[in-house]
Copies of this chain bind each other. A is one copy, B any other.
Amino acid sequence: MPEIAPRVSSTALQAFISKCLEATGMPWADTQTVAALMTQADLMGQDAHGVFRLPMYTRRIRAGGINVTPKISRVQDRTATALVDGDNGLGHLVMYHATQLAMEKAEKSGVAWVGARHSNHAGPASLYAMMPLKKDMIGLYIAVGSANHLPPWGGTEMLLSTNPISVAVPAMNRPPIVPDMVTTVAAYGKVKTAAQRGETMPEGWMMDRSGAPLTDPARAAEGFLLPIGGPKGYGLSLIFGVLAGTLNGAAFGREVVDFNADSTSVTNTGHLVLALDIKAFADPDVFRTGIDAVWDEMKSSPRLPGVEEIRLPGERLHRVTAERSANGIPLPVPFRRQLAKLAAELEIDPL
């Protein structure tokens, strides 16, 4: 029987996160930004990228691995591009800043591409891809993942991360289309979940160093994740890493620090965000209506036996956001205990 996960209101959760961050020495205004974004991740159903990461963030902050008073600066600045140095601040702060900058620049130029370095884990990719939506812009976000989980195709050394990508496109009466995906068949979090539940993984998720399928998640350390489409997913992971990492002077390949295993080394995480102004191509209402039509067309396809409904990327995210905004965010009891322990350590009121 799955464990009961009592609901917490987003307001209460956001207040709790900001109090925790304030207790670590983060300036008040920044705690508001980060807490709002982390709570938004939970509202969106991105359970592995919201408050779930708070204990790890605070551990890193207290160990000196993240700078709570970063001076975020532009080290390069052109009409439609910028390179932001995050001064080892939390990724949410760096990428909120970078995305706002991309939107400002795209307003003037039609498109803008902002890279970031010396950043950290920033939560789910769709958080930043979706920010430009309210300005009638399309958003795109790519990051170098925070730990390497796959080798180059044919190799056995884990030199690449699952480097995620998200793109967000607004509709008129339908939810936005928002793919948010890693470049591997399964995210590493799914392996961990399978291990916790004592389940076997399907063939195709992981391979061991002899090239044989690895289906026992307890043996995960003996193998690596497999990229989508074999060499194609390897190519995507590699190129996303180059664009979000190497180009920005951020970590890539052997430089990547596994931030779960190491609380003190500077990760020098790289990301990129692109904002594209729909008005530079079409009347936004005409475009949005066109996206509604795309939505309806996909939904109207005849279905394979056993398939109840065809889904669009972003549909679940939209439904979960509405449901959790109304009913609160479910937090499993063991995790609530972990948060209570964190509150005690930080000497603040529990959630």
Stretch at the interface among A34-42, A47-55, A310-318, A319-327: A310-318
User: A111-B112, A232-B181, A291-B246 are contacts. A154–B81 as well, Cβ < 8 Å?
Assistant: no
| Chain B neighbourhood of A177, CB < 8 A | 238-239, 242
Checking B79, B210, B302 against A156 with a beta-carbon cut-off of 8 angstroms, the contacting residue is: B302
A28 within 8 A of B: no
Contact A109–B80 (Cβ < 8 Å): yes
Known: A253-B297, A294-B246. Is A155-B281 also a contact (CB below 8 A)?
Answer: no
- Contact flags A166-186 to B (C-beta < 8 A → 1, else 0): 010100000001010100010
The answer to whether A254 has its CB under 8 Å from any CB of chain B is: yes
The answer, yes or no, to whether A248 is at the interface (CB within 8 Å) is yes
A79 touches B109 (CB 8 A): yes
The CA of A304 and the CA of B207, in the complex, are separated in Å by 10
A159 CB-CB contact with B under 8 Å:
yes
Q: In the complex, which residues of chain B have a beta carbon less than 8 angstroms from the beta carbon of A278?
A: 247
Is the C-beta of A108 less than 8 angstroms from some C-beta in chain B?
yes
Residue A111 contacts which of B81, B252, B277, B304 (CB distance < 8 angstroms)? Answer: B81
- Report the minimal beta-carbon distance from A234 to chain B, rounded to whole angstroms: 8
Residue ID in chain B nearest A306 by CB atoms = B211
The interface of chain A, by Cβ under 8 A from chain B, is 76, 78-81, 83, 108-113, 115, 138, 151-157, 159, 167, 169, 177, 179, 181, 185, 209-211, 228-229, 231-236, 238-239, 241-243, 246-249, 252-254, 276-278, 280-282, 287, 290-291, 294, 297-298, 300-307, 309-313
Given A154-B311, A246-B290, 14 additional A-B pairs, CB 8 A = A78-B109, A78-B280, A138-B243, A152-B310, A154-B304, A154-B310, A155-B298, A157-B302, A177-B238, A179-B232, A209-B304, A210-B305, A228-B229, A246-B294
- The 5 A-B pairs with the shortest beta carbon distances in the complex, nearest first, are A228-B229, A81-B110, A155-B301, A78-B110, A179-B235
